[in-house]
Amino acid sequence: MKNASKYVKKIDWLQDECPIKATVDVIGGRWKPLILFYLLDRPKRFSELRKEIPGVTAQMLTLQLRQLEADEIVARKIYAEVPTRVEYELTAYGQTLSTLLRNMRKWGEQHLTRRNKKDEKKETRSRQISVSLATDMRVRRSGSILFLS
């Protein structure tokens, strides 16, 4: 039987010291990478982020921004105006993610291109088969029975 203390250390390392897990804990999820990407170039207001990220609810966007703020990735700046204006921007620490986010975008673009080429090949092949079957099919009637040749 394995030594239990080694097993516990392994689990603790995965939970506490794994750099990939630490990164995913901070920037993982459906909306956080998009939020961070749209904040790369300049600060944005809440409404701007909602427009740029279709499908995200106001409640979810607020929750994700607060989590990023708690991790010191995003800063919330409140202006003393009427009505109150709030902007979100990447902190200096958040800016360190820019290379990662830009590489994710580049990889995603390459992946979409690759996937679209595969889909086009499948569609072309499917059309070729359909046309081939249609021209090769000859239907002969013999009484009420159909024969394909």
- The pLDDT, as a whole number, for residue 118 is 81
Which of 23, 50, 24, 25 has the alpha carbon at shortest distance from 35? 50
- The pLDDT, as a whole number, for residue 141 is 45
- Average confidence score pLDDT of the chain: 82
- Reported as a single tens digit per residue, the pLDDT across 66-97 is 999 999 999 999 998 888 899 999 999 999 99
- Reported as a single tens digit per residue, the pLDDT across 102-116 is 999 999 999 999 988
pLDDT at 40 over 90: yes
- The pLDDT, as a whole number, for residue 140 is 47
Tokens representing residue 55 in the block = 């499908």
> Which has more confidence, 60 or 133?
60
CATH says 4-148 is which class?
Answer: mainly alpha
Q: Which residue ranges make up each domain of the chain?
A: 4-148
Concatenated DSSP letters of 58-111:
HHHHHHHHHHHHHTTSEEEEEE--SS-EEEEEE-HHHHTTHHHHHHHHHHHHHH
- Reported as a single tens digit per residue, the pLDDT across 112-138 is 999 888 877 777 777 666 656 555 554
- The pLDDT, as a whole number, for residue 1 is 46
